[in-house]
Amino acid sequence: MICDVHAHYIPKNFSDFMGDRFPPAVGRPLKTGIARHPVSDSAGDIAGRLELMDAAGVEKQILSPHRPPYLENEKECVAAVRILNDAYADLAHRYPDRIASYVMLPLPHIDAALKEMERGFDELGCVGVNMNISCLGRSIAESEFEPVYEEMNRRGSVLFVHPAVSGICSPFINEYGYTASVGTSLEDATFVLHMIAKGIPHRYPRIRFIVPHLGGPIPMLLNRLDRQGAQHLQNLREPPSATAKGFFYDTVCYGSKAAFLCALEAFGADHLVAGSDYPVLQDWEAYKETFAFIGRLGLSGDDADRILNRNAQRLFGFEQ
């Protein structure tokens, strides 16, 4: 059965708390109804989520928010994140065989983030950490976030990262209307590039990283990074492609066979894990189709089975 590592859940009390603090989705109207933004915790939405999972052959979803709850004010940030994590834990405890969750952190407040990570793992039963690729305009590869990586490394944690829907803070992207359609994939790539440049995977080797959307354009850039990019980076312990191939990548690709096969060739079947971006992709494809198309790609051997049914389960220790 499939484990969906990239599934969003937006509790109403969190949405209410954030209010105007939460930036609106760029160019995206609010929707109502089953499993749609901005809120997805009504009884109907939860029942519908489980029905869609059944129809798609998804045994478990791992929950995260679709946008970062990061706030400058530490007290407000901690309150927002605790609302999220408590709501996730509640749903996971109600449906332990179907739902798990990452622990969100109240960044950029490091001491508070370390306390919430401890609470998430030791009290709430979270199975990994979720961080957004940027925090209030700062890359999470910057030195101020090092204590968070130290603690994740100590715990041997999974880290699932997600775009902050910032369009890499670029007017070249945002002012032309590509914040979501292209900017999110560029954020994914930026995360990988920053991790390589800062050497974080080498210094914290027990962290298992999951990057969404097949890593954006990273699969197409590996040779160029090794041949040209490495000339401008100092003290690399290995070629950039080797570091990139150590990450895991979720399969969200809007049904693009070309993108999927490129990532498969670049990273190998053992480093792809099933994801859906639930419920975002439902504007364009049915939830079950997000996974069903992988089985129609003509993959060799047992690659499809590993990607859909084994890799994430092994990564999170969900194997029977």
SS3 string, 233-277, reads: CCCCCCCHHHHHCCCEEECCCCCCHHHHHHHHHHHCHHHEECCCC
Domains of the chain: 2-316 (3.20.20.140)
Which residues does 203 contact at the CB level (< 8 Å), separation at least 6? Answer: 149, 153
According to the model, what pLDDT value does residue 35 have?
39
End-to-end CA distance of the chain: 11
Considering only 81-95, 244-258, 292-306, which range has the smallest mean pLDDT?
A: 292-306
Question: What's the pLDDT at 28?
Answer: 44
Q: For residue 320, what pLDDT band results from cuts at 50, 70 and 90?
A: low
Q: Side chain identity at 37, as an amino acid letter?
A: H
Query: Is residue 23 very low, low, confident or very high in pLDDT (cuts 50, 70, 90)?
Result: low
Q: With H, G, I as helix, E, B as strand and everything else as coil, classify residue 102.
A: strand
Average pLDDT across the chain, whole number: 92
Q: What's the pLDDT at 18?
A: 86
Mean pLDDT of 294-317: 93
pLDDT in tens, 92-141: 999 999 999 999 999 999 999 999 999 999 999 999 999 999 999 999 99
| Residue 300 pLDDT grade (very low, low, confident, very high; cuts 50, 70, 90) | confident
- Using a cut of 0.85, tell me whether the model's pTM lies above it: yes
Residues in the chain: 320
Nearest Cα to Cα of residue 163 among 142, 192, 197: 192
DSSP string for residues in 160-203 = EEE--S-GGG-HHHHTTT-TTTTHHHHHHHHHHHHHHHHTHHHH
